Amino acid sequence: MGGGIMNHEEALNQIAAYIDNELSISEADTLAKHIADCKVCQLEYETQINTISLVKKNANYFEATPMFLSQLDQSIHESVGKSTPKNVIQKRWNINFGISWANIGTMMISLIALVWSTSLFLAIPNTEERLTDELISSHVRSLQVDHLSDVISTDKHTVKPWFNGKVDFSPSVIDFAESGFPLEGGRLDYVNGKTVAVLIYRHNKHAINLYVWPENNKDHQIKEESRHGFNAFQWVYQGMQYWMISDLEEGKLESFANRVQDEIIKSRPQG
Ligand SMILES: [Zn+2]
């Protein structure tokens, strides 16, 4: 087992910093492993992410204020009631839990304080940017803490069954060694609030992570989401979300993404 074992209280207290990308790579990796195994921390992580997107969504449209505040109130109280030490929420949002949410004037002052205290408009990226950042951070961690593969095998008949019982879906596992993109293995990771399957490919010196998880979005063709010097391509096919991330040159990664998409379509025909 790589990385330290982390206790639950310690993990809970680091979630806000994790979401803000304030942890070191090894701290983030240790925490991600804890979250993958801990239902309470998963819930806390999801609550914080959802609260951020709720604030972001509503802060762009101030007319939604009363609805927003009641949703935020509910979200905070649910989260506090279930799992979160108050000081974590208070630290993140600078909220005084003694206030009465019933008073509209107090609500407005609180909202303004909330927006100011979190530098909302500058600091919080939209959901898609956040997800891209999270996946790129995961990709970088996988390279730097020797956590690229949990199952190391170039044999798809070893890698595919390895996921059985670990995730409740069965990713398509296809080797592309003949085109210079050999399968190296697989692992579990925790991104976007869920445990996901990752397939690892390599082209020359470049590791390629292919993240796979079920998603209710409509099918869509490959979209580029490159950021921070990493290239990322994502698509949805038959209820599965695919994200391919690497520092491999953009054009090569895009043609590999197209190749993988084609083969997945062949292996999972419509109807
Ligand atoms: Zn925990």
The 10s digit of each residue's pLDDT in 46-73 is: 888 877 776 666 555 444 456 666 666 6
**Ligand 1 centroid to 83 CA: how many Å?**
10
**Ligand 1 centroid to 9 CA: how many Å?**
7
Q: Is 137 helix (H, G, I), strand (E, B) or coil?
A: helix
**Ligand 1 centroid to 134 CA: how many Å?**
19
**Ligand 1 centroid to 101 CA: how many Å?**
30
Q: So what's the pLDDT on residue 245?
A: 96
Across 21-27, average pLDDT: 85
**Ligand 1 centroid to 38 CA: how many Å?**
5
The 10s digit of each residue's pLDDT in 172-186 is: 999 999 999 999 999
For residues 265 and 253, what is the distance between their CA atoms, to the nearest angstrom? 18
**Ligand 1 centroid to 188 CA: how many Å?**
17
CA distance to 102, 190, 192, per residue, from 71 (Å): 13, 26, 21
> Could you tell me the pLDDT band of residue 96, with boundaries at 50, 70 and 90?
very low
Domain boundaries, the chain: 8-123, 127-267
One-letter identity of residue 128: E
20 has a pLDDT exceeding 90? no
83 has a pLDDT exceeding 50? no
Q: Residue 174: enclosing H or E segment and its boundaries?
A: none
User: Token digits for 134?
Assistant: 């999270």
Q: So what's the pLDDT on residue 1?
A: 38
* Mean pLDDT lowest among 12-26, 47-61, 87-101: 87-101
Asked whether the beta carbons of 152 and 185 are under 8 A apart, the reply is yes
**Ligand 1 centroid to 138 CA: how many Å?**
19
Q: Looking at domain 127-267, which CATH architecture does it have?
A: 2-Layer Sandwich (3.30)
Percent of the chain with pLDDT over 90: 33
**Ligand 1 centroid to 143 CA: how many Å?**
25
113 has a pLDDT exceeding 70? no
Across 85-113, average pLDDT: 50
